[in-house]
Amino acid sequence: MLTVEKINYQHKSFKILEDISFDSDSGKIIAIVGPNGAGKSSLLSYIANEIEPKKNEIQFKKILLKNWKKEDLSQHKAKFSQHQPADIPLTVEEVVLMGRYPYFDHQPQKNDTNAIELWMNKTNISHLKNREYIHLSGGEKQRVHLARIFSQLDNNHQQKLILLDEPLNNLDVSHQFNLLETLVELKQKENLIILVIHDLNLAAQFADEVILMDKGKIVLKDLPENVFKPDIISKIYKFPCTICKNPLDQKPLILFGKKTITMNTITDLKKQWDDLKANQPKIRIRNAAKELGVSEMELLATDLGNGVTKLKPEHAAILQEIESLGKVMALTRNNECVHERKGIYLNPDFSSPHAQLFVGEDIDMRIFLTHWKTAFAVVESSEHGERKSLQFFGKDGEAIHKIYLVPQSNTEAFDALVEKYKDADQTTIPATEKVENNVTEKPDSEIDVEGFQQSWIDLKDTHNFFTMLRKYGVTRTQALRLAPTDYHAKQINKDSIVKMLEKAAETETPIMVFTGNKGNIQIHTGNIKRTMWHENWFNILDPDFNMHLDMDKIATSWIVRKPTEDGIVTAIEVFNDKGEIIVQFFGKRKPGIAELEQWREIVAELN
Ligand SMILES: Nc1ncnc2c1ncn2[C@@H]1O[C@H](COP(=O)(O)OP(=O)(O)OP(=O)(O)O)[C@@H](O)[C@H]1O
């Protein structure tokens, strides 16, 4: 319908348009985008026959544009200009009627009045029709001119050319969408619409093709998804951007900002996750999330409605009902250590706002609910059957705690719990926040070392250890370095951990294993029996307790001794390279009972 061949247009030696060629069929919306001064308006004026109309570069409906009769052309082509006169001394209706001048001599006919009625209505200016044009607002004036050019093309001719130079300027959001929807209707009637537009997201959403211009040239003419690529757009606009898929229509969504981010929409991410599973059927969701650059919670949420149910974030209430599920498996982990303990969630104590507790023999946890953000019920199906769980995540989308049903669990109670706490919104998830790990260490010279050491010596309860660290502003590993002489912390080789666990199993010495993250610490107390290496992981594999410790990620391990009312308590504390605690081991103990001699003997052997 439109063929443009080698347009070159210059002012003195300045090339305004250089070597512009393209063609287009009818029934399309083409968006011309590009930075200020790229030549967009000039190109539109050229196509409108407003610049150098005697040349041969443009054919419209197979006829050279210069050969069209002016009065014929105005019934087939109309242009909305960026700059409209501000002071037309006419009413709104009279300005719109100007669009009908190509059709009548003295008096408008029924066709003409019908056309202007229709378009004033469609552009939402009917209520202004008797008002003086000069007193209208910017957006109202703009709509009057749009009504004028649409009225101009209201006839029985086929395939009209509508040229619009920044028609969305001055329009509020609803009028912008209203206009764009009108353009979609017009394209569906086989008209060709070419518009200059600065809003790249609206261009992506509504255009069938995009012409990207820069410095008087066409850089690209293609589908929106092929033009709106971060490298191309950042380079042309000289500003960083991130491009993801708009969840509403899968079109490119362009986010400009100095910070560029990897962003995935739920639907886009689901596809990536499905592809990854197809290629690596055994991949764990935690590792897949890392690979895809999102949190585990975001990846899990791609299956909302498909085995995954979002629960109301009423974590305390949910946790206090877990006992009804009977025996289950509690899983708490950090990057380096996984702790799995089977049992019943007995004796909840949620009375303190700081830490909440389960103090059963089997399920023994210290919970910090302020870090808990989202909860889901998950039903995974595999060839081994269904696996049901409740999964809780922190503000950063990382897993805090999971509760898996085991064969002895009460599945009816699980289903009832899910039904009770099911969130009404099953489509959206809260945005994740980066949680800073502020393990920055002050120089020793800024610490009241003497006061700190005395506090250590005066400790009565190991639970007060953290409060003491906070009071003196020391990090955990720094505290071990600065420990008082009588409680000198001894650094040991990481192989000693394996030695200690094997010895505890062999001598049937009951131990305590603490593993946690920001939101929860899970404790196992009892004997361990089966230990086993698997690649870089050292594991405890007992029927009711499993631990998986990534030995490659251990940076330092220490023997730490603290005074209590029941005598000295000896711990083995294991840290990663950020100084964060991975796991802690004690001999089994209870308030009022001294530490096991057997445990001390095991520890004494370590170096
Ligand atoms: N008649 C003219 N005489 C001299 N220079 C001109 C003329 N028309 C356009 N230019 C120059 O050509 C370049 C392209 O102008 P044009 O208005 O087409 O850009 P644009 O891409 O529409 O920019 P904007 O986004 O700012 O509206 C600009 O540098 C402009 O100053």
479-493 pLDDT, tens digit per residue, is: 999 999 888 899 999
According to the model, what pLDDT value does residue 369 have?
Answer: 95
Distance CA 28, CA 15 (A): 29
441 — pLDDT class (breaks 50, 70, 90): confident
How far apart are the CA of 43 and the centre of ligand 1, in A?
9
Q: Among 278-292, 302-316, 393-407, which stretch is predicted with the lowest mean pLDDT?
A: 278-292
Which residue has its alpha carbon closest to ligand 1 atom 30? Answer: 37
How far apart are the CA of 211 and the centre of ligand 1, in A?
17
Q: CA 78 → CA 48, 62, 114, 148, 161, distances in Å?
A: 8, 18, 19, 9, 7
Mean pLDDT of 524-540: 96
CA 485 to chain centre: 50
Pocket test for ligand 1, best of 10, 40, 197 (most atoms within 8 A of CB): 40
Q: CA 480 → CA 458, 464, 470, 560, distances in Å?
A: 16, 15, 14, 7
According to the model, what pLDDT value does residue 385 have?
Answer: 86
Give the global pTM.
Answer: 0.58
Q: Among 56-65, 325-334, 514-523, which stretch is predicted with the lowest mean pLDDT?
A: 56-65
Q: Tell me the DSSP string of 393-424.
A: EETTS-EEEEEEE-TTS-HHHHHHHHHHHB-S
Q: What residues flank ligand 1, with Cβ below 6 Å? A: 11, 16, 34, 36-42
Which residue has its alpha carbon closest to ligand 1 atom 17? Answer: 41
How far apart are the CA of 70 and the centre of ligand 1, in A?
26
According to the model, what pLDDT value does residue 250 have?
Answer: 75
CA 379 to chain centre: 24
Query: How would you label 169-180 residue by residue, b for 16+ Cβ within 10 Å and e otherwise?
Result: ebbeeebbeebb
Residue extent(s) of CATH 3.40.50.300 domains in the chain: 2-256
Query: Closest ligand 1 atom to the C-alpha of 38?
Result: 21
How far apart are the CA of 78 and the centre of ligand 1, in A?
21
According to the model, what pLDDT value does residue 440 have?
Answer: 75
Nearest to 77 by CA among 102, 95, 51: 102
Which residue has its alpha carbon closest to ligand 1 atom 3? Answer: 11
Q: Among 26-35, 38-47, 66-75, 567-576, which stretch is predicted with the lowest mean pLDDT?
A: 66-75
Pocket test for ligand 1, best of 11, 42, 51, 168 (most atoms within 8 A of CB): 42
How far apart are the CA of 604 and the centre of ligand 1, in A?
83
Mean pLDDT of 177-205: 96
How far apart are the CA of 14 and the centre of ligand 1, in A?
10
38 — pLDDT class (breaks 50, 70, 90): very high
Contact (Cβ atoms closer than 8 angstroms) between residue 180 and residue 130:
no
Distance CA 590, CA 150 (A): 85
Query: Closest ligand 1 atom to the C-alpha of 44?
Result: 18
Assign domain 2-256 to its CATH architecture. 3-Layer(aba) Sandwich (3.40)
Distance CA 105, CA 108 (A): 8
Which residue has its alpha carbon closest to ligand 1 atom 1? Answer: 11
According to the model, what pLDDT value does residue 260 have?
Answer: 59
Query: Closest ligand 1 atom to the C-alpha of 213?
Result: 21
100 — pLDDT class (breaks 50, 70, 90): very high
How far apart are the CA of 85 and the centre of ligand 1, in A?
19
Mean pLDDT of 377-394: 93
Q: What is the mean pLDDT of the chain?
A: 92
Q: What is the pLDDT of residues 238-289, one digit of tens each?
A: 988 888 878 777 788 998 877 655 555 666 788 888 888 888 888 999 999 9
Query: Closest ligand 1 atom to the C-alpha of 82?
Result: 27
According to the model, what pLDDT value does residue 383 have?
Answer: 78
Selected from 2.60.40.420, 1.10.287.540, 1.10.3720.10, 3.40.1570.10, the CATH number assigned to the domain covering 444-605 reads 3.40.1570.10
Which residue has its alpha carbon closest to ligand 1 atom 12? Answer: 16
Q: What is the pLDDT of residues 545-600, one digit of tens each?
A: 999 999 999 999 999 999 998 899 999 999 999 889 999 999 998 888 889 999 99
According to the model, what pLDDT value does residue 513 have?
Answer: 98
46 — pLDDT class (breaks 50, 70, 90): very high
According to the model, what pLDDT value does residue 267 have?
Answer: 65
Query: Closest ligand 1 atom to the C-alpha of 35?
Result: 25
- Domain 304-421 adopts which CATH fold? Heme iron utilization protein-like fold (3.40.1570)
Residue extent(s) of CATH 3.40.1570.10 domains in the chain: 304-421, 444-605
